[in-house]
């Protein structure tokens, strides 16, 4: 069973953030002059390579301006031989961008472990990188930092990464203070002489990529940066170890004058002419010795689990308000306020006198029974009630006269 080596997926250190832009980091993939690269996953579980820019560059306003432009342009590059940019943040405290994860070693790592590529693999590498540059240039981008570390060897063909990002660092003050962006061994003469950068600059780097893959070493040799840059500007490359069929093509790409270098279309056509068999990308485009380097990069570490929320003391229930007595019948309801039960406002008629009490209805008098008989037989006592129409007057005493 093949297990990932420690140098491929390094654990996060104390200075590594656990989350960047909402992506939980799983491991460290590597570090370079521009920043640090981490392994993470999308919400759907797809692995991505997330590059966080170094703080020194993040504090430079000109870098931020150019970095935003380059990332916006890079998101338009959709080629079969590129690692597409899928997300990024150019305005945050520390800018970052995320690309699709390519499960394959870089050309630099593969050559260091297994040596030079055979002719067919070198030709398939050249046509794949040339097609990637064609798409990148079509988006208005010059790579500027095409080198073996930026060419990944996937199971179905090469992938070009980090295209256009080096341009953002060209105008910063850090490039002259010991911070190296790019590799001098693979620069073009116009880059070493601070000349004009054009798509032909990437063609020069492509010639060096092909020579490195077929020879197993840089075309302008090893040594200090100043010595290598001097040879690039003033001397011819050492192509004595290059296969004879590749020497004319590589020499054409490494012309000092950018106008003398071939176009990408001419390079692709020339590779097809030089190949004894039709060039078709597939799972057999690399030797079997490279299969292990690809397999071990397919066994990715699991993403870090999301930590459970910290336990907190239960929140006491809010104090219940005192019961508000029901308002009397007929009175308008008043809701209690935050400071206690609401006191009904005084009546607008409180200053006036109360209404007079209603007077009782007059009592009706019971009628007296009718008088009967003659005066002689009527009783001489005072009647219980006065006769009708007389009120309370005393009845006159009648005489005995008939």
Q: How far apart are CA 139 and CA 230, in angstroms?
A: 32
- Classify 70 as helix, strand or coil: helix
- Classify 96 as helix, strand or coil: strand
Q: How far apart are CA 346 and CA 364, in angstroms?
A: 43
Distance of CA 34 to the CA centre of its chain: 21
Q: Which two tokens stand for residue 402?
A: 């008939």
- Which residue in the list 16, 60, 87, 145 is annotated as catalytic? 145
Q: How far apart are CA 184 and CA 213, in angstroms?
A: 17
Q: What is the DSSP string of 146-185?
A: --GGGEEEETTEEEE-STTGGGGGTTSGGGGTT---S-GG
Q: Are 73 and 139 in contact (CB under 8 A)?
A: yes
Helices (H), 19-157: 55-58, 61-74, 107-114, 119-138
Q: For residue 256, with 0-12 CB atoms within 10 Å meaning exposed, 13-18 middle and 19 or more buried, which class applies?
A: middle
Q: What is the DSSP string of 285-318?
A: SS-GGGHHHHHTTTSPPPPPPPPPPPP-PPPPPP
145 is known as an active-site residue: yes
Which residues participate in catalysis according to the annotation?
A: 145
């Amino acid at each position: 069973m093949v297990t990932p080596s420690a140098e491929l997926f390094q654990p996060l250190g104390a200075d590594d953030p656990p989350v960047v832009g909402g992506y939980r980091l799983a491991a460290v993939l590597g570090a370079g002059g521009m920043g640090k690269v981490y392994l993470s996953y999308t919400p759907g579980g797809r692995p991505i390579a997330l590059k966080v820019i170094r703080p020194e560059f993040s504090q430079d306003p000109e870098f931020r301006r150019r970095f935003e432009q380059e990332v916006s342009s890079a998101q338009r590059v959709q080629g079969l031989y590129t690692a597409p940019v899928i997300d990024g943040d150019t305005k945050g405290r520390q800018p970052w961008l995320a690309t699709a994860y390519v499960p394959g070693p870089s050309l630099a790592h593969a050559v260091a472990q297994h040596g030079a590529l055979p002719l067919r693999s070198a030709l398939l590498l050249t046509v794949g990188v040339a097609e990637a540059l064609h798409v990148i240039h079509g988006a208005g981008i010059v790579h500027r930092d095409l080198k073996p570390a930026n060419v990944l060897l996937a199971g179905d063909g090469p992938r070009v990464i980090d295209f256009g990002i080096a341009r953002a660092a060209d105008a910063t003050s850090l490039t002259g203070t010991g911070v190296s962006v790019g590799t001098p061994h693979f620069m073009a003469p116009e880059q070493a002489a601070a000349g004009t950068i054009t798509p032909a600059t990437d063609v020069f780097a492509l010639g060096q990529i092909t020579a490195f893959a077929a020879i197993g070493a840089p075309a302008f040799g090893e040594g200090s940066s100043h010595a290598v840059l001097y040879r690039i500007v003033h001397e011819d490359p050492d192509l004595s170890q290059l296969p004879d069929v590749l020497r004319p093509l590589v020499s054409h790409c490494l012309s000092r004058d950018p106008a003398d270098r071939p176009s990408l279309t001419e390079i692709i056509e020339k590779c097809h002419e030089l190949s004894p068999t039709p060039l078709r990308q597939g799972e057999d485009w690399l030797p079997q010795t490279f299969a292990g380097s690809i397999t071990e990069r397919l066994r990715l570490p699991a993403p870090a689990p999301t930590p459970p929320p910290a336990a907190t003391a239960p929140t006491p229930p809010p104090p219940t308000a005192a019961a508000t007595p029901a308002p009397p019948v007929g009175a308008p309801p008043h809701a209690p306020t935050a400071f206690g039960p609401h006191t009904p406002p005084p009546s607008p008629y409180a200053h006036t006198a109360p209404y007079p009490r209603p007077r009782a209805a007059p009592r009706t008098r019971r009628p007296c029974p009718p008088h009967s008989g003659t005066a002689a037989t009527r009783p001489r006592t005072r009647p219980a009630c006065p006769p009708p129409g007389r009120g309370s007057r005393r009845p006159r005493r009648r005489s005995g006269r008939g």
